[in-house]
Each structure stands twice: as C-alpha cells, then as structure tokens.
Amino acid sequence: MRIAGADPHLIDRRLFHFYFAQSRGYRYVAGNAALIRQGSYFFAFSHRPAYTINPPEVGTFKFTVLRDPIERVTSLYRYLAFPGADSSYSDKISIEERRWATEGFDRFLDRLPPQHLTNQLHMFSKSSSVDEAVDRLNQLDLVLRTEHLNRDLNRLQESLGLRLSLTRERSSLLPFTPNDAQRNRLHDMLLPEFEIMRQIEPRWKLDSPSQR
C-alpha cells in the first residue's frame, strides 16, 4: 500500500537500518514498541503482538487486516518456499523460517510454531483466548479483510481522508494449492481463528458503507 505517494522500497531500506524513516515530509515507524507508544509519526506498523504496542489512545487511528486462516497459512508456505519473494527488500525472511518449507506442505505444518500457525490469534491474545482476541479487535477503529481489500481500502480512505493505492509486494510465484486432505487438516488446526472470524463478521457488516 502506498501512502502519501511514498516509495515502499525506499522506506524499507531506511527502516532496515533505523526504526523510523522520513519521506515526503512524513515520519514512518516500524517494529519499535517504544517509538509506537510515543505516537510521533504519520504511520506506524509492527508484526509484534498488539498487546505489546499500545499506541496513544488520542489521535491514533488503529486498524488491522485479517485473512481467511487457510489462505493465510498457505500464502505463508508459498512465501517461505519461494526464495525470490523478498529479493527486492532489505528485511528478509530468516534462514530458519525458510527451512520450515523445504520438505513440502505437510512437513511445513508439522514444523510451523504455534504462534505462526495461529498468528491472528496470538497477535491479539497473550493467553491464546478467542474471547480476548475478539475483544481487542473490537477496540480497533477498523478491521479489514484481505479477500475484500479493494473494497475495504475505500473504507480506510473515507475514515482517514487520504488517497491510498494498493501495490503487490513480497509476492511468491510458487503455484501451490493444498489438496482436500491438507485443507481439512488445516481447518482443524485453525479452529480458533475461524471462531474469531465468525465473531468479527458482524463488525465487517457494520463497517460496510452499504450498512451506513
């Protein structure tokens, strides 16, 4: 996603050496909980759990993007199994993570740590509680869906009064689709995340422009 015309590759290179970057008069912060808590930025993001970040309540618009659990794990596998997916970025996947995907999808599921398998649960609950995750998600200003990102981008633009554009970054060209048995196995492994999606669904309908 491009924000205020910024080049994501330029920002990535700067954030690789520092936790913040300046571009076109805007300040960006990545990953550093202390800087995010300070709130002195135009845009901040992190892959740290939400309960460790705590940006300022006043003046901060907080949003996240959730994805169908099976599609998210499958996409992670494609990404880790395709070496060129992050070739143009300074911040690359670790060798250890790449190894998870070296012996096929079934072995990948065997090796994937719980916090990565159910990442959308662990990001919003320290105790792996669905109720806790849903409660924290409901405290955000907006919850978007990867499957409807073009539509949801309009909602984000309306909320922020900004012009945003989507770009496709860190893409894998690996043509992999899990078979029925693998999808069934994944579904059983990801039941907590599917429950989160079920409980959050009314929120998406409420936030939809057609429901206003």
pLDDT digits (tens, 9 = 90+) for 96-140: 998 999 999 999 999 999 999 999 999 999 999 999 999 999 999
Q: Domain tally for the chain?
A: 1
CA–CA gap between residue 69 and residue 117 (Å, rounded): 9
Q: Determine, yes or no, domain membership for 41.
A: no
Pairing of strands 2-3, 164-165: antiparallel
Q: Determine the angle formed by the axes of helices 69-81 and 191-207, rounding to 10 degrees.
A: 110
pLDDT value of residue 129:
97
d(CA 46, CA 20): 12
The reported pTM is: 0.82
Q: Is residue 26 part of a domain?
A: no
The pLDDT > 90 percentage for the chain reads 45
Specify if 62 maps to a domain.
Answer: no
180 closest CA partner among 172, 188, 169: 188
Residue 68 is encoded by which pair of tokens?
């169908």
Indicate whether 189 belongs to any domain: yes
> pLDDT grade, residue 210 (50/70/90)?
very low
The boundaries of the domain holding residue 118 are: 67-146+174-211
Residue 58 CB contacts under 8 Å (≥ 6 apart), including other chains? none
| Side chain identity at residue 4, one-letter code | A
Q: Average per-residue pLDDT in the chain?
A: 84
User: Is residue 28 a part of any domain in this protein?
Assistant: no
For residue range 133-164, list pLDDT tens digits in order: 999 999 999 999 999 888 888 888 888 888 87
pLDDT digits (tens, 9 = 90+) for 42-54: 888 888 899 998 8
Decide if 94 is inside a domain.
Answer: yes
How far, in Å, CA of 26 to CA of 37, rounded? Answer: 17
